[in-house]
Amino acid sequence: MLGSFQPQAGYKTGEKPAVLQSQADSQLPSILWLECSDCRIPASNISGLHPNDILTHRNVGNIISPLDISTSAVIEFAVAHLAVKHVVICGHSECMGMQSAMALKRVGGTLDTWLAPLRAIRQQLSNELSYLQDDGAREMLIAERNVEDGVAALLANVTIQEHIASRNLQVHGYMLDAPSGRIRDLGLGPKSSILTAIANPPHEIIRGNYAQLIFEEDGTATMTAK
């Protein structure tokens, strides 16, 4: 298995010899990206962003909980020590976490405990879900509410609050359509009212190999293919 990584490293070094060395020298990501563990939807693959542009943290169902010390540590590291400019929580369609939330059967001891917040969302949305005929639409509604709750949890994080106040850190909630790779901004997070042209340009573009993320002055963002 370890041998399979050597051709990949050799290919990257041969294509751009400075890439691996620059990654080894420092990490200066602009974005902390919080996403699901689903192997189909890694942000760096979808966006084509340079590995040094984006710090990714993943868990099943992209659940943000103040009780999860792993996620909290990553947030503090990214925001307070790496000074990322954007924190993104990104849900996605066809998520097995949302499917498990819709199911009434056990999926495992640890998983059942971890997915409890998603099942709580299902209960909260029971009336709205009853009007939807399609399972995919039900799962998407739960996924969107999970992102909304995640943004609320991020905005309640003391480290994030401090850096919103001191340097206009931006928080975003996205949904990814897995089949198409399209990302939709849910319009969540604080709307910036204090922007300085030097420290926080009002129109920031982070370019990848296949797409680019465009962060607007009002706190919204879009991803467009290149």
Is the pLDDT at 5 greater than 70, yes or no?
A: no
Count of the separate structural domains present in the chain: 1
pTM over 0.85, yes/no:
no
Residue 225 lies in a domain: no
Two tokens, residue 9: 């490293």
Asked whether residue 39 is marked as a ligand-binding residue, the answer is: no
185 is in an annotated binding site: no
Is the pLDDT assigned to residue 2 strictly greater than 90? no
Residue 112 in any domain: the answer is: yes
Cα separation, 226 vs 214, in Å, equals 12
113 occurs within a structural domain: yes
Residue 5 domain flag: no
Please report, rounded to a whole number, the percentage of residues in the chain having pLDDT higher than 90: 53
Cβ neighbours of residue 14 closer than 8 Å, sequence gap 6 or more = none
**205 located within any domain:** no
Token digits of residue 204: 């920031």
Domain range for 132 is 29-194
**38 annotated to bind ligand:** yes
Q: Is residue 221 part of a domain?
A: no
Exposed, middle or buried, 198 (CB in 10 Å: 0-12/13-18/19+)? exposed
pLDDT tens by residue, 104-136:
788 888 999 999 999 999 999 999 999 999 999
Q: Where are the beta strands (DSSP E) in the chain?
A: 31-36, 54-59, 86-92, 170-177, 182-185, 204-207, 211-215, 221-225
What CATH number does residue 184 fall under?
3.40.1050.10
What does pLDDT average to over the chain?
81
Per mean pLDDT, which range of 11-15, 160-164, 169-173 is the poorest?
Answer: 11-15
In a domain, 219, yes or no: no
Q: What amino acid is encoded at 74 in this protein?
A: V
36 is in an annotated binding site: yes
Is residue 159 in a domain?
yes
Q: How many CB atoms lie within 10 A of CB 102?
A: 14
